[in-house]
Amino acid sequence: MSTPKTMRTLFQPSAEEPRLVLIPNHPVPVPREGTDEHLIHVRSVSPCANELNWAKNFPHLQTRELIPCYDIAGTIVAAPPTSDFQPGAEVYARSNYMSPGCARDYTLVGGAELARRPRNVDWAHATSIPLSAQTALQALFVQSGIGGLGDSAWKGKRVLVTAASGGVGSWVVQLGRVAGATVIGTCGPQNVDFVKGLGAEEVVNYREVDLKAWGQKAENQVDLVVDCIGKKSLEDAWWCVKEGGTLISIFQPPEQVQPEECKEKNVKNFFFIVAANRSDLETITKLVEEGKCHGVVDSIWPLEQFEDAFKRLDSGHARGKIILDLTLNQ
């Protein structure tokens, strides 16, 4: 089957406005000769919270086409002759945010970001994995400084994750459990059982329990906080981490909301952005195929219902990832 000349594409007309339009006949991209670009027939993609504001907040991103969605699963159509992924290979990735996103029928992804998709999950669940899983893996086993996956240093460590039912939070819970840590997650009342099912030994229902008060009790202090939501939750998380512990946020620099009373606290704290790569994604693939972890899908939408999908994402109440399935309605 030959590759068409045009395709459907979600496009953001202006960096100043978080609004999308669906273009029915956008040109199909062509891999540049001599590069590591792979042309992929997109099966499904997943958006990231707040990504429609990235180009406004980081003007250097305005030089690329403003196409959203960087979590992708699909089939290789064209590849460099030396690539490990030749036409027909089923792959997934967190693609590079310096390039256009993947909410289109065909997209380009560098080989360094690709991995074979897990054989034991469907396309939607594969798409839900790359960003969330790699972020959690790097937060726990690279950024925290405690130890790698499988390191005995995790035994006896207490890890608190905020927004534990979300995309990244659900992976922090699962990977922390696999590592042997005691994991505590925060979430709303409707997700308490879900978070426990992921492997959290304790769940803090933020509707009923004040996180600051909880953290001020000596027996609740944790070695590591992974914050996934920022703002008030991150501010309260300062009270939960013990002296000499670590506070990591994927939302904002923790010192932006550090309580005055915690200014003298000896806590390593920082914000970080995931660096997507094949090696980490292959580690995740192995864990998924071994049945130790799994992706979490909140809902699946056809591309034409992108507005409703992004509204669900922006609500802040999604359990896991929002998926756009480009095969629906085709």
The CATH number of whichever domain residue 53 belongs to comes to 3.90.180.10
What tokens does 297 get?
Answer: 């899908």
pLDDT category at 1 given cuts 50, 70, 90 is low
Q: What is the percentage of the chain residues whose pLDDT exceeds 90? A: 90
pLDDT in tens, 219-245: 999 999 999 999 999 999 999 999 999
pLDDT of amino acid 95: 94
pLDDT category at 148 given cuts 50, 70, 90 is very high
Predicted model pTM = 0.93
CA atoms of 3 and 328, how far apart (whole Å): 19
**Mean pLDDT computed over every residue of the chain:** 95
Is 91 in the same domain as 178?
Answer: no
Is 45 in the same domain as 147?
Answer: no
Q: Is residue 196 part of a domain?
A: yes
CB 154 within 8 A of CB 118: no
The CATH number of whichever domain residue 152 belongs to comes to 3.40.50.720
CA distances to 145, 161, 170 from 186, in Å: 23, 6, 11
Tell me phi and psi for residue 326, to 5 degrees: -75, -5
Q: Is residue 288 part of a domain?
A: no
Is 144 in the same domain as 54?
Answer: no
pLDDT in tens, 77-122: 999 999 999 999 999 999 998 899 999 999 999 999 999 999 999 9
pLDDT of amino acid 319: 86
What tokens does 236 get?
Answer: 């309260």
For residue 102, give every residue at least 6 positions away whose Cβ sits within 8 Å of its Cβ, in sequence order, or none: 40, 42, 45, 67, 69, 70, 71, 72, 74, 95, 109
**What 8-state DSSP symbol labels residue 61?**
G
pLDDT of amino acid 265: 93
Is 147 in the same domain as 17?
Answer: no
Tell me which residue range forms the domain holding 246: 132-271
Range in 12-21, 229-238, 295-304, 314-323 with the lowest mean pLDDT: 314-323
CB 324 within 8 A of CB 152: no
**Would you list the DSSP string of 169-216?**
HHHHHHHHHHHT-EEEEEE-GGGHHHHHHHT-SEEEETTTS-HHHHHT
In the chain, % helix, strand, coil (3-state, to 5) comes to 30, 25, 40
